[in-house]
Structure 1
């Protein structure tokens, strides 16, 4: 089966639903890992409104960390978890949202995780270890393949990214397509957002989609979408 998995830092939805919705719709994602979703006033309603505007559903429902997984109508959600990661003094609390999903009427099961690493290097290094352990545990319990989408707040030559890429495939590096840099719009120069996938998953393509939508007007990050082939 082919599955489109995306990651998108929404910048707190500051640009508003009218700006974000066309970008999210154009991603055509079956699974979308989002960061900087609302986590205070009316956070459930605002997340739900964004998902509904693109024909998606919110699969995970934790508030901490501002991360969530959204799923398309072709995916069945089997299980969801939300984990607050180890706190670091004077740093923002980080979290992992994960959902176990499978396509309706097809084979193959994924555990999809959304994460947002800190600006602090020590916190990133610790949290990436936590995230891998949590994802591997869920994958083993549900016999699922791992996909991770997130904002790493560092680039591919730095330690946390390299650690992730040693355990999982960096999808853009495997099969680059579209754009590469994701931050900061409107003229991004750094690739700090990525989709990673288990080695048994075939990466067909991955990158910033060039679809004509106003990505620069919707967020300070550009989205990334990977097309994956799961199973036979």
Structure 2
């Protein structure tokens, strides 16, 4: 099994779009960027939801470097969203984008969301990249905030992708899964566990979709070089193929 076994990006005759969404915690590009770029290119995403994008000095330079290495373009996020970022292929047209900050909890890293509405083929898709708190109570509140932001996007179809810092049985993960389709649980494909990359023991990264989106497959993409996955960052990527109805 390889990434080629997942449905490829395409626009259907009825205007619906098959969209590849990749969620990836890239640890601020502190590791092997060439390996990171090879992993992303092999997944051929239409939409890349990044967590832990570079967010300090000259962060835009690093976002541009990642785009040049992968053939993707910056949409929103990075430093303004405190880490989450959205990139896309040239297939996507950006209708609007917004970075959202959660309330600050003293002593904890402030969290935010990178959000956008994209037109792909004949479909209109809301996108949210998130990285939830390490603190359980704050994480649960942020999960609720993600669901509120999905509604606030004002579109019928949306995808949420991110590092949840929680496992499927956790309160925050279950809160999201109660309102959205958990991609892996709905249509498992490839691997399940996402952290750490060498010997993963937990699924803390996920792609979710609103009920009207058809999940064609979702999971850790198989067949990628183990050396690249270990060198690229400290998480494994999650790739989903979604069929989004025409707008």
Q: Is the 8 A contact 1:148 1:196 kept in 2?
A: yes
> Matches of 1:130 and 1:122 in 2, distance apart?
13
Shift of 1:51: 1.6
The residue that corresponds to 2:243 in the other structure is 229
Shift of 1:19: 2.1
Shift of 1:78: 0.7
Shift of 1:220: 0.7
Which aligned segments of 4 or more residues in structure 1 are displaced greater than 3 angstroms?
Answer: none
Count residues in correspondence: 227
Is residue 81 of structure 1 aligned with residue 93 of structure 2? no
Distance change (3 Å), C-alpha of 1:9 and 1:62: closer
The residue that corresponds to 2:162 in the other structure is 150
Shift of 1:27: 1.2
Is residue 118 of structure 1 aligned with residue 130 of structure 2? no
Is residue 171 of structure 1 aligned with residue 187 of structure 2? no
> Matches of 1:194 and 1:66 in 2, distance apart?
17
- Over aligned residues, Cα RMSD in angstroms? 1.1
Gaps of 5+ in 2: 1-16
What is the TM-score when the length of structure 1 is the normalising length? 0.95
Q: Is the 8 A contact 1:100 1:144 kept in 2?
A: no
> Matches of 1:198 and 1:135 in 2, distance apart?
9
The residue that corresponds to 1:134 in the other structure is 149
| Partner SS state of residue 76, structure 2 | coil
Q: Is the 8 A contact 1:108 1:144 kept in 2?
A: no
The residue that corresponds to 2:68 in the other structure is 52
> Matches of 1:121 and 1:160 in 2, distance apart?
8
Q: Is the 8 A contact 1:136 1:146 kept in 2?
A: no
What is the TM-score when the length of structure 2 is the normalising length? 0.89
Mapping of 1:166-205 within 5 angstroms?
166-205=178-217
Q: Deviations over 1:181-211 (max 9, x none)?
A: 0001211110000000001000000000013
Gaps of 5+ in 1: none
The residue that corresponds to 1:215 in the other structure is 229
> Matches of 1:157 and 1:61 in 2, distance apart?
29
Q: Is the 8 A contact 2:140 2:171 kept in 1?
A: yes
After TM superposition, the structure 1 stretch with the greater mean CA deviation from structure 2, 8-17 or 149-158, is 8-17
> Matches of 2:40 and 2:78 in 1, distance apart?
21
Which of 66, 69, 90 is residue 83 of structure 2 equivalent to? Answer: 66
Which of 106, 109, 119 is residue 102 of structure 1 equivalent to? Answer: 119
> Matches of 1:119 and 1:97 in 2, distance apart?
18
Shift of 1:16: 3.4
> Matches of 1:72 and 1:203 in 2, distance apart?
20
The residue that corresponds to 1:25 in the other structure is 41
Shift of 1:62: 4.8
